[in-house]
Amino acid sequence: MSVETLIAMLASTTAAATPLIFAALGELVTERAGVLNLGVEGTMLVGAIAGFAVGLTTGSLTLGYLAAALAGVLMALIFAVLTLQLQTNQVATGLALTLFGVGLSAFLGKSFAGQPIAGLPHLSIPLLSDIPVLGPLLFRFDILVYASIALYVAVQWFLSRTRGGLLLRAVGESPAVAHAIGHPVQRVRYAAVLFGGACSGIAGAYLSTALTPMWVEGLSAGRGWIALALVVFATWKPLRVLAGAYLFGGVTVLQLYAQGFGLHVPSEFLSMLPYAATVVVLVLICRDRQTILLNQPASLGKPFHPEL
């Protein structure tokens, strides 16, 4: 296998992993606050069309990504008002949000289907990208790839090193206790849900402007669900989310090449592989019940009524 193939494979792996990292890290923060938002898939789709539409009409992908993040926040706001304020069931509301997002994005995207857009440009970092082999391998991605790594570092640092992160984890473990000692449980949860929404929105925009630079109805193809599964199987640990996302990306690319080599396996099975492999590997990782119980936010999915 040539160096070029290897570079190409790594580049596609990274591209497939990046949206998952955004969506899953956002959801991880949301869940760490004890809120289960199953609307990731729908939020990603709305972010995808918002990013695509704004990016295409204004010609600025920066504005497109801002719009995607904003769309994600708005979707999350609907979820937050319903579940946190009006105390609706989080699972049902999240599912409804996904259905809503699928429909809304299809509706908004009608006139954009099939239009071409200039995809997110690949950076080429001066000097570094000229290093033979390593340069093209590591320093010629688009900016969101680097941003996803930065987001991982930021989330990890926030959760383990800052008071805000401590408070977030505390709220996720026991909102009642956090409330009793005087912390603003609702505000923390709102912030976490909105952050998750913004991340999902950006993840969606990456799909429509970088991964496959065009709008197709339902282009997220279940990646929102994979992101949700990643969070759980990564036992709410950011590093495992990162690893899981790259695993998914890697198998996605491998099966594409396998299809290219003309293996005598129905292509549907190969397309299924990344999903199955990710789930299987992560299930194996998280077999230890202890880790789950220590890291799973104890109040996950449970409504909290602050006493009046």
Cβ burial of 266 (10 Å; 0-12, 13-18, 19+) is exposed
Minimum distance from residue 177 beta carbon to other proteins (Å): 4
183 touches other proteins (CB under 8 A): yes
Give the whole-angstrom CA distance, residue 50 versus residue 207. Answer: 12
Give the whole-angstrom CA distance, residue 288 versus residue 268. Answer: 32
Instruction: Please identify which residue in 3, 180, 263, 280 interacts with other proteins, judged by CB under 8 A.
Output: 180
Site string for other proteins, 122-161 (x = CB under 8 A): ----------------------------------------
- Which of these segments, 42-50, 61-69, 165-173, 197-205, binds other proteins (CB under 8 A)? 165-173
Pick 232 or 245: Cβ nearer other proteins: 232
Minimum distance from residue 307 beta carbon to other proteins (Å): 7
Minimum distance from residue 40 beta carbon to other proteins (Å): 25
Footprint (CB under 8 A) of other proteins, residues 223-242: none
Minimum distance from residue 295 beta carbon to other proteins (Å): 8
In sequence order, what are the residues at sequence separation of 6 or more whose Cβ sits closer than 8 angstroms to the Cβ of residue 232?
A: 286
Residues that bind other proteins (CB under 8 A): 163, 166-167, 169-170, 173-174, 177-178, 180-183, 289-290, 293-295, 298, 307-308
